[in-house]
């Protein structure tokens, strides 16, 4: 009967979790639908090669992600992550279908109930660490038997579907990787390239030797460069630029004075109260009271040296600590170690949720354990036989703790190991949120014993008052109301001695703007309005922002004006190279040096694997010429490199002496590089896909 009840309990907990997730999904989905309906009645969030990504399905998955990650990830990050997953899954599914990759029912059973089962967390015995496969199977069968469509869908979405997707992707990547082959000639060439060295004589005329002002770069020059390097000047998605000014609602001097007065009004009671914990809770101090001793040298607050010397009961302050006004009070002092080593055996007292020993039975057992330990019985044997602390069975019951960990331990346990002495052997009763039970503790070692202090910090944050916030809001509203276009915006900013800030390339699905932080509402406004429009004030953190749209950049090849900042440098160097090459005349390197006003230099042991010229920089073209056997003893034509114009004479080409290279290691390195590329297969598929993104309508 107890086994059947256990199965029912497990099943009930899973059903409870599923229903909870379903409710969360419904609430979030409904809220998102209401937002989306303002703009469109569509139910489609995007398309991948004509295949829809439905909003309802996406919202359900998003709710599950939020439940899984909690506060660890922001909603906008989860939306982006999930969107990329949906695109990858859609693209890869087409590949699976083409290649006939699938997961059979037998494979799925092995996945769900094998070594890496997604049910493992829910059905692992906490005492033995054993995965209860049969319990998991029965619980799943119970849910299937219920024929509850919502529960079955949630099980499928939470466990089964992700397991199938992961397995399909693994098979696909394995198939790609197994198709990779590194021939012997490639290994041999890689080894030869890595070992090759060249010695050259060369001349070098840096582009910086010609002034920028002497070289004019026309729009036609830029356009020609764009045409030759089209992929470098292609914009994949629309971006918009804005100019904005802010009206700060930071705390004023009066706000600071008000908080100081508040702290001072509490200081007398803070200095004398006998119940510091209750006082700190009642006055809602920004820094909660830590009822624990801290080693003196671990205190890291402003004025720490003065605070550490306070007598018990003494106070220091008020003083500033970041954005807070603080008063410190010395509560107590004592000596204690900075770290300890101990060993223990835990006997838990049973609860309604986890039946076990009664209090008296647990006490009797720990007394017996203590007697056996003191009589010389091997401590590890006692740990393995009696301890309910599974985490310390692999360490013979031993733990090491630093003094900073004191507040994280059960109070009774922490006091036994830190306030006692090396060699102490005690029984302590512990009661906390996780368990109630008895510890038999032996203090094995205490290190760096010194003075520790217990300090209370009455702390109040300096915040802007309603009056300060209202003043900033009013000023922003007045500015926006008189700035109906970009010119008025700029003129009014000058009158206020405010300098507009710029934010470039804001994307439609961005949740934040560089320099402002998260402000999705402003991003939406930017894409709902046209160039030259001025926004109403938008509250962002502790300031109000008024913005104007200064440019709209559509997808496609950049215009000359857009590309000039990036291209002008390279075009100017190309034109400089054309001028400089005309001076590289003569049949010998020395003659070229004289004609161009340069000197012949030497570079030895240049390596083919590293495209660097010593004392010059990265010059792949020049290094390539250095290994051209046709140039041995001959002078190259002028080479327009990255940093200037070169000409060289190859003196010799050879290999590093006495260098033993493991061919198998080189081969594995090449294979690994190929395999890494295989993991980016979905990225490659994206380039050939037609992807429509409508997320901006709903988020």
The backbone region for 99, taken as left when phi is positive above 0, alpha when psi lies in -120 to 50, beta otherwise, is alpha
Closest CA to 637 of 651, 645, 647, 623: 647
- pTM, two decimal places: 0.67
Alpha-carbon distance of 682 to 85, in angstroms, equals 10
Alpha-carbon distance of 687 to 174, in angstroms, equals 22
pLDDT per residue as tens digits for the range 500-515: 999 999 999 999 999 9
The backbone region for 485, taken as left when phi is positive above 0, alpha when psi lies in -120 to 50, beta otherwise, is beta
Q: Specify the residue for token string 């409508």.
A: 694
**pLDDT value, residue 126:** 67
User: 650 vs 70, which has greater pLDDT?
Assistant: 650
Least confident of 24-33, 189-198, 295-304, 376-385: 24-33
Q: Which domains does the chain have, with CATH numbers?
A: 2-178 (no CATH), 195-230+561-655 (3.10.50), 239-249+465-554 (3.10.50), 251-463 (3.10.50.40)
pLDDT per residue as tens digits for the range 263-277: 999 999 999 999 999
Q: How many CB atoms lie within 10 A of CB 371?
A: 11
**Residue 71, SS3 per DSSP:** helix
pLDDT per residue as tens digits for the range 674-699: 777 766 777 788 888 888 888 888 88
Residue 71's pLDDT band (boundaries 50, 70, 90)?
low
pLDDT per residue as tens digits for the range 515-574: 999 899 999 999 999 999 999 999 998 999 999 999 999 999 999 999 999 999 999 999
User: 120 vs 312, which has greater pLDDT?
Assistant: 312
Q: What is the mean pLDDT of the chain?
A: 86
**pLDDT value, residue 575:** 96
Most confident of 5-9, 419-423, 457-461: 457-461
Show the tokens assigned to 257: 């004075």
Least confident of 129-133, 290-294, 359-363, 423-427: 129-133
Give the up-direction half-sphere exposure of residue 441: CA atoms within 13 A in the CB hemisphere: 28
Q: Specify the residue for token string 């101990």.
A: 342
> In this structure, what DSSP letter does residue 349 have?
P
Please answer whether residues 347 and 366 qualify as being in contact, where contact means their C-beta atoms are separated by less than 8 angstroms. yes
Strand partners, 329: 315, 456
* Whether pLDDT at 280 is above 80: yes
Closest CA to 423 of 445, 404, 406: 445
Least confident of 339-353, 453-467, 569-583, 631-645: 339-353
% of the chain surpassing 90 pLDDT: 50
User: 257 vs 16, which has greater pLDDT?
Assistant: 257
Alpha-carbon distance of 373 to 353, in angstroms, equals 31
pLDDT per residue as tens digits for the range 594-616: 999 999 999 998 888 788 888 88
Most confident of 10-14, 109-113, 422-426: 422-426
User: 18 vs 43, which has greater pLDDT?
Assistant: 43
Alpha-carbon distance of 345 to 439, in angstroms, equals 6
**pLDDT value, residue 610:** 82
**pLDDT value, residue 200:** 93
Q: Once rounded to an integer, what is the mean pLDDT over residues 375-392? A: 89
**pLDDT value, residue 193:** 83
């Amino acid at each position: 009967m107890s086994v059947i009840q256990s199965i029912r309990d497990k099943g009930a907990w899973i059903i409870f979790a599923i229903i909870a997730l379903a409710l969360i999904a419904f609430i979030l989905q409904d809220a998102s639908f209401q937002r989306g309906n303002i703009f469109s009645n569509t139910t489609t969030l995007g398309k991948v090669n004509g295949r829809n990504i439905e909003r309802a399905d996406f919202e359900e998955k998003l709710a599950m992600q939020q439940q899984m990650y909690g506060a660890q990830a922001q909603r906008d990050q989860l939306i982006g992550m999930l969107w990329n997953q949906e695109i990858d899954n859609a693209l890869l599914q087409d590949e699976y279908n083409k290649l006939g990759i699938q997961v059979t029912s037998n494979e799925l059973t092995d996945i769900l109930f094998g070594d890496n089962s997604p049910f493992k967390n829910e059905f692992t015995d906490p005492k033995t660490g054993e995965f209860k496969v049969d319990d998991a199977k029965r619980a799943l069968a119970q849910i299937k038997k219920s024929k509850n469509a919502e529960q079955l869908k949630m099980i499928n979405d939470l466990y089964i579907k992700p397991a199938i997707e992961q397995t399909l992707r693994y098979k696909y990547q394995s198939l790609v990787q197994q198709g990779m082959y590194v021939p012997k000639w490639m290994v041999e060439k890689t080894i030869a390239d890595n070992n090759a060295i060249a010695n050259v004589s060369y001349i070098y005329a840096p582009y910086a030797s010609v002034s920028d002002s002497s070289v004019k770069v026309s729009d036609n020059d830029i356009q020609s460069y764009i045409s030759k390097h089209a992929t470098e000047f292609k914009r994949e998605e629309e971006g918009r630029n804005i100019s904005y000014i802010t009206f700060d609602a930071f705390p004023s001097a009066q706000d600071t004075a008000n908080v100081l007065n508040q702290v001072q009004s509490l200081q007398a009671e803070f200095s004398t109260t006998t119940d510091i914990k209750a006082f700190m809770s009642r006055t809602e101090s920004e820094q909660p009271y830590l009822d624990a001793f801290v080693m003196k040298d671990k205190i890291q607050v402003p004025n720490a040296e003065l605070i550490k010397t306070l007598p018990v009961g003494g106070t220091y302050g008020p003083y500033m600590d970041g954005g807070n006004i603080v008063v410190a009070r010395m509560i107590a002092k004592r000596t204690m170690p900075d770290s300890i080593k101990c060993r223990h055996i835990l006997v838990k007292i049973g609860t309604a949720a986890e039946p076990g020993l009664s209090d008296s039975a647990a006490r009797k057992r720990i007394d017996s354990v203590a007697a056996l330990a003191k009589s010389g019985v091997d401590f590890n044997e006692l740990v393995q036989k009696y301890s309910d602390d599974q985490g310390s069975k692999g360490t013979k019951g031993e733990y090491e703790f630093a003094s900073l960990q004191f507040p994280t331990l059960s109070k009774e346990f922490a006091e036994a190991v830190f306030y006692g002495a090396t060699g102490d052997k005690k029984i302590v009763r512990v009661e906390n949120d996780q368990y109630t039970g008895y510890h038999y503790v032996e203090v094995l070692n205490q290190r760096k014993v010194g003075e520790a202090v217990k300090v209370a910090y009455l702390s109040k944050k300096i915040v802007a008052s309603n009056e300060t916030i209202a003043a900033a809001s009013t000023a922003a509203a007045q500015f926006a109301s008189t700035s109906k276009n970009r010119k008025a915006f700029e003129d009014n900013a000058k009158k206020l001695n405010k300098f507009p800030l710029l934010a470039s390339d804001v994307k439609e699905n961005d949740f934040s703007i560089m320099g402002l932080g998260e402000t999705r509402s402003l991003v939406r406004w930017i894409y709902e309005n046209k160039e030259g429009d001025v926004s109403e004030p938008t509250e962002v953190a502790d300031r109000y922002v008024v913005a104007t749209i200064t440019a709209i950049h559509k997808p496609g090849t950049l215009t000359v004006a857009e590309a000039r900042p990036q291209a002008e440098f390279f075009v100017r160097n190309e034109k400089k190279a054309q001028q400089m090459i005309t001076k590289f005349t003569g049949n010998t390197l020395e003659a070229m040096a004289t004609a161009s006003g340069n000197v012949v230099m030497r570079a030895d042991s240049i390596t083919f694997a590293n495209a660097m010229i010593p004392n010059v920089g990265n010059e792949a073209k020049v290094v390539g010429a250095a290994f051209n056997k046709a140039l041995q003893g001959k002078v190259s034509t002028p080479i327009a490199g990255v940093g200037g114009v070169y000409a060289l004479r190859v003196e010799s080409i050879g290999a590093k002496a006495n260098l033993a290279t493991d061919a198998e290691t080189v081969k594995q390195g090449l294979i690994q590089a190929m395999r890494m590329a295989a993991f980016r297969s979905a990225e490659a598929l994206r380039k050939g896909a037609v992807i429509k993104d409508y997320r901006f309508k709903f988020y």
